[in-house]
């Protein structure tokens, strides 16, 4: 039987496909920028090899700096236009999609029956010029990423000059510098697309306020979910008071619309009367458990853990993040327990495992409590 979680997962996969395509486009654009910038810096490196004066080398780099910034300005303008076009194209299609996936989540003969209206080009343009991500407009984010990329490239060139490196070594350094820019631009694409989709979807739901009683907040069940989103998971809100994702950079959370009634044989029938309290009890959420950890060594001497794969588990649709992680802590499966220990950290894991604190107590107002705060909480 179809259910909303399944239909929403399909939609999220399609949206991720759009993000991946944008990421490939961004990578190709930045690769072109790398060729342009490296050409300018290769000339600089060749000139620098002919002079022992570090001051003159720095002066030449300063003269090239403006050219580098101009080249990156054009590149990031193209990236911004690509993200804008794809985001607005997707947002334009969302009213119909929002209504359709609700219908698909219901049994045959039962419809959500939401109405939807198209979004005009003017309205889409007005939205794009006014929306913000974490308090900054899209153009501000783009300018910030461009500035960071230029700063990294100039710093890379300065280090290369000091070390007296050859052109191949400089090329490798530039690739590393622009790799960070590619990841940041892909993050902006994902967040902007998510924002546009949520805005258009929310607009459609508000148009059907008489049919919907509100939203249930849904966070992803894995170790990458932020304290803010996991603390909201499973909570229900009115249409006008719900926190609309994305709530942060690269946010993956979404809102589950809750129907008041459905349409059966052309008549509105209360949701529970038509489908019963046990409707879609068999629906499952997807939980991801990362596997195959490896240690990543960073340039600054620090390390982090990355994962090559993950296992998928299916849990009841009404299980919240905190309930899921609590079940992992107390699981009979050693791999589940090891996952929970690494996700929570040994101290927090032990507090939950020993029954001294509940999972909910580890967080307060969307942030992770410090160990000191947790100890004070137990006094």
Picking from 216, 220, 206, the residue whose alpha carbon sits closest to that of residue 250 is: 220
Q: Give one word for 149, left, alpha or beta, with left for phi > 0 and alpha for psi -120 to 50.
A: alpha
Q: 339 versus 63: which is more confidently predicted? A: 339
pLDDT exceeds cutoff 60 at 147: yes
Dihedral pair phi/psi, residue 352, rounded to 5°: -75, -45
* Count of domains forming the chain: 1
Strand runs (DSSP E) across 167-300, as ranges? 212-218, 236-237, 254-259, 261-264, 267-270, 284-297
Residues 6+ apart with CB under 8 A from 373: 364
57 lies in some domain:
yes
162 lies in some domain:
yes
The lowest-confidence range among 137-141, 237-241, 257-261, 295-299 is 295-299
pLDDT digits (tens, 9 = 90+) for 91-104: 999 999 999 999 99
236 lies in some domain:
no
Q: Give the pLDDT confidence score for residue 311 in this predicted structure.
A: 85
- Max mean pLDDT range (60-69, 98-107, 195-204, 314-323): 195-204
374 lies in some domain:
no
Using 50, 70 and 90 to split pLDDT, how confident is the model at 199?
A: very high
The lowest-confidence range among 103-112, 176-185, 197-206 is 176-185
User: CA-CA distance, 68 to 151, in Å (whole number)?
Assistant: 10
Percent of the chain with pLDDT over 90: 60
The pair of three-digit structure tokens given for residue 32, joined into one six-digit string:
């072109």
250 lies in some domain:
no
**Apex 370 CA angle, 364 and 371, nearest 5:** 125
125 lies in some domain:
yes
pLDDT digits (tens, 9 = 90+) for 8-47: 999 999 999 999 999 999 988 888 877 777 666 655 555 5
- Is the Cβ–Cβ distance between 148 and 297 less than 8 Å? no
133 lies in some domain:
yes
The pair of three-digit structure tokens given for residue 2, joined into one six-digit string:
């179809």
89 lies in some domain:
yes
Picking from 127, 152, 140, the residue whose alpha carbon sits closest to that of residue 188 is: 140
pLDDT digits (tens, 9 = 90+) for 236-271: 999 999 999 999 999 999 999 999 999 999 999 998
Q: 280 versus 129: which is more confidently predicted? A: 129
pLDDT exceeds cutoff 70 at 196: yes
pTM over 0.85: yes
Q: How long a stretch of residues is the chain?
A: 379
By residue range, what is the domain housing residue 27? 4-211
Radius of gyration over every alpha carbon of the chain, rounded to an integer in angstroms: 25
């Amino acid at each position: 039987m179809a259910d909303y979680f399944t239909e929403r997962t399909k939609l999220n996969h399609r949206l991720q496909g759009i993000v991946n395509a944008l990421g490939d486009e961004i990578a190709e654009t930045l690769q072109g920028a790398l060729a342009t910038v490296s050409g300018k810096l290769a000339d600089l490196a060749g000139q620098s090899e002919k002079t022992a004066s570090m001051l003159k080398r720095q002066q030449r780099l300063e003269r090239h700096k403006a050219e580098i910034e101009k080249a990156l300005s054009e590149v990031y303008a193209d990236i911004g236009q690509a993200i804008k076009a794809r985001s607005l194209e997707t947002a334009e299609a969302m009213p119909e999609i929002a209504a359709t996936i609700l219908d698909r989540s219901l049994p045959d003969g039962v419809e959500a029956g939401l109405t939807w209206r198209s979004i005009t080009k003017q309205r889409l343009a007005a939205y794009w010029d006014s929306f913000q991500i974490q308090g900054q407009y899209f153009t501000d984010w783009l300018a910030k990423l461009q500035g960071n990329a230029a700063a990294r490239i100039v710093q890379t060139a300065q280090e290369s000059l000091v070390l007296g490196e050859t052109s191949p070594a400089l090329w490798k350094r530039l690739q590393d510098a622009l790799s960070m820019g590619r990841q940041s631009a892909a993050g902006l694409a994902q967040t902007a697309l998510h924002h546009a989709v949520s805005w258009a979807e929310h607009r459609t739901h508000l148009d059907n306020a008489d049919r919907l009683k509100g939203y249930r907040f849904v966070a992803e069940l894995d170790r990458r979910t932020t304290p803010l989103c996991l603390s909201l998971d499973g909570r229900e809100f009115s249409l006008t008071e719900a926190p609309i994702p994305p709530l942060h950079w690269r946010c993956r959370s979404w809102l589950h619309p809750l129907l008041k009634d459905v349409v059966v044989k052309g008549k509105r029938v209360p949701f529970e009367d038509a489908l019963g309290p046990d409707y879609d009890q068999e629906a499952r959420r997807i939980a991801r458990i990362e596997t195959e950890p490896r240690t990543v060594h960073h340039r600054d001497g620090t390390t982090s853990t990355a994962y090559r794969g993950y296992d998928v588990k299916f849990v009841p649709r009404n299980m919240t993040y905190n309930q899921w992680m609590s079940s992992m802590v107390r699981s009979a499966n050693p791999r589940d327990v090891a996952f929970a220990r690494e996700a929570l950290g040994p101290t927090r894991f032990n507090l939950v495992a020993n029954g001294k604190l509940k999972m909910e107590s580890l967080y307060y107002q969307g942030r992770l409590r410090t160990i000191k705060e947790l100890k004070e909480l137990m006094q």
